[in-house]
């Protein structure tokens, strides 16, 4: 019997800081390293991991490596999203960390979904024609061998960071980007619409990737996890799940992805605390053939603070404003 623990954790802008700026990376690591140790993850999916540079060296995940130092993921293989130059992005990389063999990995960004186009009505000046509405972050897909001695031991791990609900900027309509001051309500609404378009574009690409994997191998084991920036009943999550209640086609039942968070009691089912309300934004969805091996989930949200309060500054709360989620599976 092989036990596998899989986790997802948005580290919230995990990076070095400028000299004299707080919290320092060391302060953040002091608080967050115990969170990593507690996960005991065999496969850890991270979001919002920034890259760092050293003179004469390509950009790398140095801050994350320091966070993982001394944990069970120390020295793990780090599979990351990356730009064309084969380094890593400056900001918001997706990373899968594991000591298990990674057989293959890829990133997708408008590979399976055409980049949407839209003509912004409130832009100053208005767009003369539709423009591309690109997504900022790719999807990361890795094929991991969870037990090389056993047949059918390949696990597809897809990690995502869908676009946030923060409105996309409209030219000439944002008075102060830092404060989020807009010139008009309809411009703010249009910016929110653009963000939802990006979020759904990513969700559709994930769903198409899942269906493509299952078309090639109907018995494929798939885990989709990460920061969805959407709660369970919202369309991006439902689109990726593909519930029979939504498709009205029972033949598609084997393609349904199941949120494992449903086994967590409702009053503890949240990964972000905002305006006094817990929100479940970080999910782990699995194909039904994995449920037989599922043993339980944990959401480590005991120390979450309300990120919307004026005094909830980073120097007071250096840890992430998201809670990690971890699930345990036992495979024969």
Please give the pLDDT value at position 314: 60
324-to-66, 74, 213, 220, 318 alpha-carbon distances in Å: 18, 18, 27, 26, 15
> Contact, 141 vs 156, CB < 8 A?
yes
b/e string for 133-155 if b means 16 or more Cβ within 10 A?
bebebbbbbbbbebbeeeeebbb
β-pair type (43-49, 2-14): parallel
Three-state DSSP class for residue 247: helix
Please give the pLDDT value at position 309: 61
Dihedral sign for Cα 279, 285, 290, 292, please: positive
Three-state DSSP class for residue 43: strand
Nearest partner of 122 among 162, 168, 89, 164, judged by Cα: 168
Instruction: At 46, give phi and psi (nearest 5°).
Output: -115, 145
Please give the pLDDT value at position 126: 92
Q: How far is CA 249 from the centre of its chain?
A: 29
DSSP 302-330: TT---TTSTT--TTT--S-SS--EEEEEE
Residue 308 and residue 275: Cα distance in Å, rounded?
6
Please give the pLDDT value at position 15: 85
Nearest partner of 77 among 105, 107, 119, judged by Cα: 105
Residue 210 and residue 203: Cα distance in Å, rounded?
11
Three-state DSSP class for residue 211: helix
How many CB atoms neighbour CB 267 within 10 A? 7
> What are the structural domain ranges in the chain?
2-331
Residue 47 and residue 88: Cα distance in Å, rounded?
13
Please give the pLDDT value at position 84: 82
The C-alpha angle 6, 8, 11, rounded to 5 degrees, equals: 140
Question: What digits encode the pLDDT tens for the residues 276-291?
Answer: 889 999 999 999 999 9
How many residues in the chain? 332
How many CB atoms neighbour CB 289 within 10 A? 14
Please give the pLDDT value at position 288: 95
pLDDT along the chain (332 residues), means of 10: 94 83 88 96 97 87 96 97 87 97 95 95 95 94 84 89 94 86 95 97 98 96 98 97 96 96 94 89 97 96 78 67 96 84
Residue 158 and residue 70: Cα distance in Å, rounded?
26
Question: What digits encode the pLDDT tens for the residues 253-267?
Answer: 999 999 999 999 999
Tokens 């897809």 sit at which residue? 158
Measure the N-to-C terminal CA separation of the chain; round to a whole number of Å: 5
User: Is 3.60.10.10 the CATH number for 2-331?
Assistant: yes
Please give the pLDDT value at position 186: 96
Dihedral sign for Cα 265, 243, 199, 197, please: negative
């Amino acid at each position: 019997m092989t036990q596998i623990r899989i986790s997802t954790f948005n580290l919230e802008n995990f990076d070095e800081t400028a000299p004299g700026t707080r919290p320092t990376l060391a302060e953040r690591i002091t608080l967050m390293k115990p969170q990593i140790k507690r996960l005991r993850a065999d496969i850890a999916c991270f979001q919002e991991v920034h890259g760092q540079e050293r003179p004469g060296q390509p950009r790398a995940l140095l801050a994350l490596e320091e966070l993982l130092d001394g944990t069970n993921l120390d020295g793990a293989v780090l599979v990351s999203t990356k730009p064309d130059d084969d380094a890593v992005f400056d900001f918001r990389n997706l990373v899968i960390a594991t000591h298990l063999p990674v057989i293959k990995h890829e990133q997708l960004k408008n590979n399976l979904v055409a980049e949407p186009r839209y003509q912004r009505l409130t832009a100053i000046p208005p767009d003369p024609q539709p423009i591309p509405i690109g997504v900022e972050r790719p999807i990361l897909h890795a094929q991991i061998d969870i037990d090389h001695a056993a047949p059918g031991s390949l696990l597809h791990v897809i990690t995502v960071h869908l676009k946030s609900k923060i409105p996309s900027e409209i030219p000439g309509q944002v008075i102060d980007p830092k404060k989020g001051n807009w010139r008009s309500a309809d411009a703010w609404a249009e910016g929110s619409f653009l963000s939802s378009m990006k979020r759904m574009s990513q969700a559709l690409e994930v769903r198409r990737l899942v269906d493509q994997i299952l078309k090639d191998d109907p018995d494929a084991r798939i885990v989709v996890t990460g920061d969805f920036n959407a709660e369970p009943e919202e369309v991006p999550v439902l689109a990726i799940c593909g519930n029979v209640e939504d498709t009205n086609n029972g033949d598609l039942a084997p393609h349904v992805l199941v949120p494992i968070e449903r086994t967590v009691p409702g009053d503890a089912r949240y990964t972000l605390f905002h305006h006094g309300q817990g929100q479940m934004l970080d999910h782990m969805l699995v194909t039904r053939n994995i449920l037989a091996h599922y043993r339980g989930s944990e959401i480590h949200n005991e120390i979450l603070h309300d990120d919307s309060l004026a005094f909830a500054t980073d120097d007071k709360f250096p840890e992430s404003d998201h809670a990690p989620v971890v699930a345990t599976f036992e495979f024969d």
